[in-house]
Amino acid sequence: MTYALTTRYPNLVDRDEIIRVLRAFEMAGFEYVLIGAAAMGFHGIVRATEDLDLFIKATPENVEKLRSALRQAYDNDPQVNEISSADLLGEYPAVRYVPPTGDLYFDVLTRLGEVASFDTIDAQIKDVQGTKVRVATPLALYRLKKDTVRVQDHVDAAALKERFDLKDEK
Amino acid sequence: MRVQKFRSIEEMNKASAPESEEPHFERFLRHCARYWAIAPKHYPRGVFKFRSIEEAQRAREKHILLKQ
């Protein structure tokens, strides 16, 4: 008996979706710092994720650039218009956008309590397929993750600490 | 990628995984694509607002539990 050695992966549509969105961010001049699993991926710690986590510069103009980029990437999805600077700069510092594709989503943050904001996170510019991406440094990611209650964050923090020989700060 | 040989499981577990020549983010994209193909999830589309990142995480966990 023979078995067909066909698989469904890699799913090029899904891979292209992330690149397409990052490119749209750059073209719109949207100011953000990539954090979370995607940022860890840039630093060589690879694990799967379903979301892109972004700390964004908290200005109405920048939120408009985000909307513009997402409209560009998702065929003018009207739901993008529900992302508002009044929310992000006010009562709702965390907004989740699930695009029509539905299997990848975006967590957009303007602040994390008193701990972090766009202006306080150390970042570096990385390149992916000719697109510039502002990515939180390993130390910045470690600081964001080490004291949360989420189990996955503890695993990530331990991986960052080991790989980059990070020291705990007093 | 080169083949590594070990005389025991213990020796294998101690060895570090060989580093790929592929750029890190490309490897991340490939890994996610494989994961999404094996374990597809579908989230309700739209914009959702949260007062804190913890609230956002709870919403995600609740959705995953409901789907299970």
**B48, two tokens:** 């959702």
Dump pLDDT digits (tens) for A59-112: 999 999 999 999 999 999 999 999 999 999 999 999 999 999 888 899 999 988
Which residue in chain A is spatially nearest to B44 when comparing CA positions?
A102
Residue A96 near residue B59 (C-beta atoms within 8 A): yes
The verdict on residue A146 lying in a domain is yes
**B34, two tokens:** 């494989």
Least confident of A32-46, A79-93, A118-132, B51-65: B51-65
The verdict on residue A168 lying in a domain is no
The verdict on residue A50 lying in a domain is yes
The verdict on residue A17 lying in a domain is yes
A88/A90 Cα distance (integer angstroms): 5
The verdict on residue A3 lying in a domain is no
pTM value > 0.80: yes
Residue A121 near residue A112 (C-beta atoms within 8 A): no
Which residue in chain A is spatially nearest to B51 when comparing CA positions?
A92
Q: Which long-range contacts (CB under 8 A, 24 or more apart) does B63-68 make?
A: B67/B41
The verdict on residue A5 lying in a domain is no
CB pairs under 8 A between A and B: 122
The verdict on residue A4 lying in a domain is no
| Total domains, chain A | 1
Across the interface, whether the CB atoms of A95 and B52 are under 8 A apart is answered no
- C-alpha atoms less than 13 angstroms from C-alpha of A18 in its C-beta half-sphere: 30
Strand ranges of the sheet holding B46-50, from the earlier edge strand across to the other edge? A123-128, A131-136, A32-35, A51-56, A105-109, A94-98, B46-50
What is the identity of the amino acid at A19? Answer: I
The mean per-residue pLDDT over the stretch B5-23 comes to 83
Check CB contact of A5 with chain B, cutoff 8 Å. Answer: no
Tell me: pLDDT of A5 over 60: no
A4/A147 Cα distance (integer angstroms): 47
Phi, psi dihedral angles at A165 (to 5 degrees) = 50, 50
CATH number of the domain encompassing residue A131: 3.30.460
DSSP A47-62: ---SEEEEEE--SHHH
Tell me: pLDDT of A149 over 90: no
Domain ranges, residue A31: 12-161
Check CB contact of B33 with chain A, cutoff 8 Å. Answer: yes
